Amino acid sequence: MIRQQVAAIDAAVAAGVVSIVKVSVWGARPGGKLAEGAHWEIEQRLRAAPVASTVLQPSGFMQNFLTGAAASTDDGEVIGLAGDWRVSYIDCFDIAASAAALLTRPTDDGGPFVLTGPEALTQAAIAAKLSAAFGRPVRAVELTATEMASRITARGLPEWFAADVVELWREVAAGSLSTVTTAVRDLTGRGPRTFDEFLATSP
């Protein structure tokens, strides 16, 4: 990902592009696990490039619950570490709208802009909303760190990857993605979609 995105930045600069908006990840930082560290390095490369740039750092995608990218069982249950933690999931529609606003109305503020939905939801609340939308029960399954790591390695992924995923989940359970921001409204002039609105407009 680092190689691909840096190449895209270099190509854009060479082509005379005057402004770049990068979709990063909330929590990007040096030494961050998995995508957090990679996105941070790309952000630094972008800021050093001779072009105006802005960074967007969205919360978890609502779309992940429909594409299979969210943590789930083969039966479609929602899984996560035990606890009453919350995530301010965002509809990718609002990420795109925020990027479009910045590309058409450039700003001197390079961000990062942390993009979230309008509410922070528990996994149980997400499961209830999915149940209503799908017309079938969807359960929220709470796992220990060991159980989550075992599920990941059982799929053939390496232990180091499982350990990094579990560490990221621990951070989420501690509230790393629970804050709700006004960035979407500030950039687009309207509030972000709720999870219910996302489900109502999804195919």
Q: What is the pLDDT of residues 39-49, one digit of tens each?
A: 999 999 999 99
pLDDT per position as a tens digit, 96-133: 999 999 999 877 888 899 999 999 999 999 999 999 99
Per the prediction, the chain carries an average pLDDT of 92
Task: Considering only residues 183 and 134, tell me which one the structure prediction assigns the higher pLDDT.
Answer: 183
- Residue 111: the pLDDT is 85
Helices within the chain (DSSP H only)? 2-14, 35-48, 64-67, 92-104, 123-134, 145-154, 159-173, 183-188, 195-201
* Domain ranges within the chain, ordered by starting residue: 2-201
Q: How far apart are CA 25 and CA 61, in angstroms?
A: 10
CATH, range 2-201: 3.40.50.720
* Bridge partners (DSSP) listed for residue 87: 121
Phi, psi of 65 (to 5 degrees): -80, -15
Burial class (CB in 10 A: 0-12, 13-18, 19+), 140: middle
Binning pLDDT at 50, 70 and 90, where does residue 68 land? Answer: low
Compute the CA torsion angle 68, 26, 126, 78 (nearest 10 deg): 40
